[in-house]
Amino acid sequence: MNLLRLLICWLLLCAAAHAGTLTQAELARRFPAPLVVGEKSADIPAWPLFKQNGTVTELVGYAFESADLAPVPGFAGVPPNLLVVIDPKGTFLDVAVLSQHEPVFLEGLGEAPLREFLQQYRGRSLGQGITVGGGKGSLDGVSKATASVRIINQSVLSAALKVARAKLGFAQGRDPGRIGRIRMDVFAPLSLQEMLDAGLVRHVRVRRGDVERMFAGSSGAGLDAEALAQPDDVFIDLWVAWASVPAVGRNLLAPRTWTRLQGRLEPGDHALLVLTAGPHTLTGADFVRGSVPRGIVLRQDRLPVEMRDLDLEPRLADGVHLPADEMLLLRVIAQAGLDPACALDFALPVTRSKGIVYPERITREVAFSYRLPEAYYIAPERAAPAWQASWKARRVELIVLGVALSLLAAALWQQRRLVAHARRFAWLRRAWLLFTIGFIGYAAQAQLSIVNLTGIVQALRAGRGLDYLLFDPLTVALWAFVLVSLFIWGRGTFCGWLCPFGALQEFAGLAGQALRLPQVAVRRVLDARLKRVKYGVLAAILLAAVWAPAQADRLVELEPFKTAITLNFVRAWPFVVYAAGLLLVAMVVNKAFCRYLCPLGAALALLGRVRLLDWIPRRAECGTPCQTCRHRCGYNAIVPSGKVDYEECFQCMECVVIHASDEQCAPRILERKRSRTIPIVPAPDTIDRRA
């Protein structure tokens, strides 16, 4: 115990481990000449990468750390940190590991499979809707690490989308792969008035007096003499239409202009037609064709979306007459993620100057919106949470687990029927333990672990959510059942029936008995002391998870579950020797690891104190004088008084079998003997003679 106190004090003094962040110098080392690393952006933690091409400096892309932008916790509660590089079109140039704490990639599998997985991002676009293991076009997962790579995929995409939204004009708050789509098959001849009535063309008229009122109360008020003298005169007449929609473009534009427009747009691009009349223009005298007009701004979800002139001279269709002084066809690239299902928010900046030497510039905006009617686009599918893909992919395994757990709960609830025949119960239990090892352990990879708890501790400590747990549906389902069972039966349901490594130990014990190895019965005093060790191990791991996460990663290796179950003993030899050694010990000492070292068992024992039922039947004779169950209990979970210590009970139900047996339970045997006793009654003639 003194050693335990010293360990706890040392952990309390340790500082929490923080992942380092990249510096500009480190990035320069990773991206040498001819690339140049620019200064980190002020608005978002990303570094621009440039390349000198003759006399022109070209933007190659942006480099950033996923943990800075999307700290999605992994299964150790710590977010993976990845170096991500995307080009100006939103295509991945590289994704590399900076740090990660995923248990399956720390040892055993190692980082090599993770690095191979990350190589699949190269050349893929953010607009593709990248998924893991979803069929054709998706990323290939990693065996035994499906949930981890799904979390990593979410980290990469979430971080990259944030940079793309801030720097490349991608849609704010949405995956560009999940937006509305223009219906190219919908067309009907429409007149200009019919398009105006349907909302396909938006007309806005602003008078000079309207503009003057916008500047009221500011230093820009009263600077336009014409607005004061003639407030009802038109300042600007403006028409906006979604020209790449066939029902708009084919009716509004001349056939030749429509054909040329189609040839200039790439898949997913959009074109907007803007026509204006009046003294205010959108381009100005210094406007260059092919550039971005400064006189009109488009926003969606409060984020500016770039509109660039297509350098086409649009001509209107015959019969369409608009008094336009300027006409522009503006292109919005597909990567911008413009969503036809959402409103387009336009603004016309109007600037006035006051003063001569250093004039003060005052700007106000004429704002209006344009929404495409529903008949002309296909609404996007509602974006499902990323973890739902894991549940769909493993629905068969979830059904199998759900049916199995239901059968187990029903059997344990009907314990009298379950143990009615001792031999049949023994074989049923062994069959279930084989299912636990084969399906729950190796097939479903649903071995519960102390790592599940340390991950929650570290996530809560860092103020992160617990959504990452949903990426492993079978573990979530099993934990849900175990937590409910704690209220009914206590710790034993998991430790005795649902723990794959515990089942391996139980079979190791049976093998030891079959080989006639000497079975070590630990003296009760020593046994009681050794049982306290697992609580010290639990305390050390949880304290490390809070104060020294790097040490927690090492301490959780006291649990052999990852070696024996998750990685199937395919691991570095010290870990294999440790796990195999525990099984060898279990051949002579009944489930020694579970009883003395298991931190998860200690946690469940503490949580099991909320148990509502004393479900193991007892008699008045139990303990006084009968000690049969106590001596037969391989876990020393029955005290001399006959009371069951549920915190150390593994629900093997041997004592329940004894309690129900006429051949093993001493009080029942005594009752049977008494029922068979023939009372001595004097013969009638003897009574007569006495009389």
Residue 134's pLDDT is what? 61
Residue 273's pLDDT is what? 96
Across the range 62-84, mean pLDDT stands at 86
How would residue 161 be classed by pLDDT, with cut points 50, 70 and 90? confident
Residue 581's pLDDT is what? 96
Checking if the pLDDT of 94 tops 70, the result is yes
Residue 62's pLDDT is what? 94
Least confidently predicted of 21-30, 198-207, 493-502: 21-30
How would residue 678 be classed by pLDDT, with cut points 50, 70 and 90? low
Residue 606's pLDDT is what? 93
Residue 266's pLDDT is what? 87
- The dihedral region occupied by 230, where left means phi > 0, alpha psi between -120 and 50, and beta the remainder, is beta
Residue 10's pLDDT is what? 35
How would residue 496 be classed by pLDDT, with cut points 50, 70 and 90? very high
Angstrom CA distances, 416 to 583, 629, 657, 658, stand at 32, 17, 9, 11
> Tell me, what amino acid is at 370?
Y
pLDDT digits (tens, 9 = 90+) for 290-342: 888 889 999 887 777 888 899 888 999 998 988 888 999 999 887 677 889 99
The Cα 39–Cα 556 span in angstroms is 40
* Side-by-side strand order, sheet with 56-65: 35-37, 47-53, 56-65, 81-86, 92-99
Checking if the pLDDT of 166 tops 90, the result is no
Checking if the pLDDT of 483 tops 60, the result is yes
Across the range 85-107, mean pLDDT stands at 87
CA atoms within 13 Å, Cβ hemisphere of 215: 21
How would residue 670 be classed by pLDDT, with cut points 50, 70 and 90? confident
pLDDT higher at 197 or 659: 197
Residue 168's pLDDT is what? 78
How would residue 173 be classed by pLDDT, with cut points 50, 70 and 90? very low
The widest CA-to-CA distance across the chain, in whole angstroms, is 150
Across the range 460-472, mean pLDDT stands at 82
Residue 375's pLDDT is what? 93
The mean predicted confidence, pLDDT, of the chain is 86
pLDDT digits (tens, 9 = 90+) for 550-585: 788 889 999 999 899 988 898 888 999 999 999 999
Cβ atoms 283, 328 nearer than 8 A = yes
Checking if the pLDDT of 15 tops 90, the result is no
Residue 69's pLDDT is what? 86
Across the range 101-127, mean pLDDT stands at 84
In what helix (H) or strand (E) does residue 412 lie, and over which residues does it extend?
helix 395-413
Angstrom CA distances, 153 to 150, 489, 529, stand at 5, 39, 46
In what helix (H) or strand (E) does residue 201 lie, and over which residues does it extend?
strand 201-207
Residue 501's pLDDT is what? 95
Residue 18's pLDDT is what? 39
Residue 493's pLDDT is what? 93
pLDDT higher at 561 or 631: 561
How would residue 541 be classed by pLDDT, with cut points 50, 70 and 90? very high
| 3-state DSSP assignment of residue 626 | strand
The Cα 405–Cα 399 span in angstroms is 10
Checking if the pLDDT of 84 tops 50, the result is yes
pLDDT digits (tens, 9 = 90+) for 119-143: 999 998 876 667 787 666 678 888 7
Checking if the pLDDT of 381 tops 80, the result is no
Residue located via tokens 């023939």: 678
Give the number of other Cβ atoms within 10 Å of residue 110's Cβ. 13
Across the range 234-238, mean pLDDT stands at 95
How would residue 19 be classed by pLDDT, with cut points 50, 70 and 90? very low
Task: Give which of 116, 16, 6 is closest to 552, Cα–Cα.
Answer: 16
Q: Which residues contact 645 (CB under 8 A, 6 or more apart)?
A: 637, 638, 639
Residue 137's pLDDT is what? 63
| Residue 51, Cβ density class (10 Å: 0-12 exposed, 13-18 middle, ≥19 buried) | middle
